[in-house]
């Protein structure tokens, strides 16, 4: 089945700096890659997603890139703010009959004011 | 998008008892899932809730321990049966739209004494 690896497990940046989180996946048939932000005591919130027919997608300060050949995708947050501090999860959805998302292990992002 | 509510939001239970968690979605979704998230960990899929039929369980999860119902397109329940302290976790309901976009509820925080 699908395996998703996520790095780093923790990331500390200064306010205003950029943050990059990287994920790799194993199933070349995977075609949908969402990113979730989870704040303490809350459920995961979808922040951006990308499909396999697109290489990059942006939404204000957040962008996701996908390299299908290398089977990796990344989340980029620019001009980080303290409210960006949270745990971020990447996920992948395969196209082999198993219809649920497989999640990475998570990255705890701390933005220092 | 889909807005998902869960009840209860948290509970403290005695070992050997059972707890039923309810999940309500505000729109008709194609699929509903139940996940478990242990403290500081990623999300693990328990099962896919199928409308009008038995749920599809992932390896390591069985119907006797986690019975699931989904009587219609917008409602599902998960029961955690014969609980032990190892069942202490966050239980998350999730729903998917036809676009593959998947949303999560706020979670139910369960503590078993």
- Tens digit of each residue's pLDDT (9 = 90 or more) over A16-42: 999 999 999 999 889 999 999 999 999
Asked if A32 and B100 come within 8 Å (Cβ–Cβ), the reply is yes
Asked if pLDDT for residue A98 goes beyond 70, the answer is: no
Please provide the DSSP assignment of B1-34 as one string: ---EEEE-SEEEE-TT--EEEEEEESS--SEEEE
Asked if B107 and A49 come within 8 Å (Cβ–Cβ), the reply is no
Q: Is some CB atom of chain A closer than 8 A to the CB atom of B61?
A: no
What integer pLDDT is reported at residue A1 of this predicted model? Answer: 76
What integer pLDDT is reported at residue B66 of this predicted model? Answer: 98
Asked if pLDDT for residue A95 goes beyond 80, the answer is: no
Asked if pLDDT for residue B93 goes beyond 90, the answer is: yes
Asked if A44 and B43 come within 8 Å (Cβ–Cβ), the reply is yes
Distance from CA of B97 to the nearest CA of A (A): 12
Please provide the DSSP assignment of B61-97 as one string: --TTTS-EEEEETTEEEEEE-S--GGG-EEEEEEEE-
pLDDT average, residue stretch B22-36: 92
């Amino acid at each position: 089945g699908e395996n998703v690896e996520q790095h780093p497990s923790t990331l500390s940046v200064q306010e205003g700096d950029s943050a990059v989180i990287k994920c790799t996946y194993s199933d070349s048939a995977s075609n949908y890659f969402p990113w979730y932000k989870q704040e303490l005591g809350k459920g995961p919130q979808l922040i951006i997603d990308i499909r396999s027919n697109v290489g990059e997608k942006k939404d204000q300060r957040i962008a996701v890139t996908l390299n299908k050949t290398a089977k990796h995708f990344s989340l980029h947050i620019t001009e980080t703010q303290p409210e960006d501090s949270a745990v971020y999860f990447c996920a992948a959805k395969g196209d082999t009959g198993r219809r649920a998302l497989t999640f990475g292990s998570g990255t705890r992002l701390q933005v220092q004011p | 998008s889909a807005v998902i509510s869960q009840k209860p939001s948290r509970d403290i239970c005695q070992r050997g008892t059972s707890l039923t968690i309810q999940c309500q979605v505000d729109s008709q979704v194609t699929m509903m899932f139940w996940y478990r998230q242990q403290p500081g960990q990623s999300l693990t899929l328990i099962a896919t809730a199928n409308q009008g039929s038995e749920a599809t369980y992932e390896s390591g999860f069985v119907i006797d321990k986690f019975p699931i119902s989904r009587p219609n397109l917008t409602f599902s329940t998960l029961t955690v049966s014969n609980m032990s302290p190892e069942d202490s976790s966050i239980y998350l309901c999730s729903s998917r739209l036809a676009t593959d976009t998947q949303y999560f509820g706020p979670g139910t925080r369960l503590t078993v004494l």
